[in-house]
Amino acid sequence: MQSKHNGKYYIGQSNNPLKRLSQHNSGYSISTKTGIPWELVFIKEFPSRSDAMIYEKKLKSYKSHDYLEKIIYSNQ
């Protein structure tokens, strides 16, 4: 997800991304409350939750905003 307010990215995994987006936009999560409104900019499906968690950890290890955007926009 990307904040329309400040441009920051939030990386997470969920079995229902639209519901999770709604939760973030309603202020459900303290860590993302300051970025409301959020929009989905990248979704990737995995065969298992453990595979999704491994990919999430990999994305979070990248500190470069530019590198994340490269991943997001090359997969559209």
pLDDT digits (tens, 9 = 90+) for 17-70: 999 999 999 999 898 999 999 999 999 999 999 999 999 999 999 878 888 899
Distance CA(60)–CA(32), nearest Å, equals: 15
Cα 40 to its chain centre, rounded Å, is: 7
Tokens of 21: 């987006």
Q: What is the pLDDT of residues 19-34, one digit of tens each?
A: 999 999 999 989 899 9
Is residue 60 a contact partner of residue 21, using CB atoms and an 8 Å limit? no
Across 10-15, average pLDDT: 94
> Which residues pair with residue 69 across a beta bridge?
none
Q: Quick one: pLDDT band at residue 75, thresholds 50, 70, 90?
A: low
pLDDT at residue 9, rounded to an integer: 92
CA distance 35 to 33: 5
Q: What angle do CA 33, 58, 10 make, to 5 degrees?
A: 15
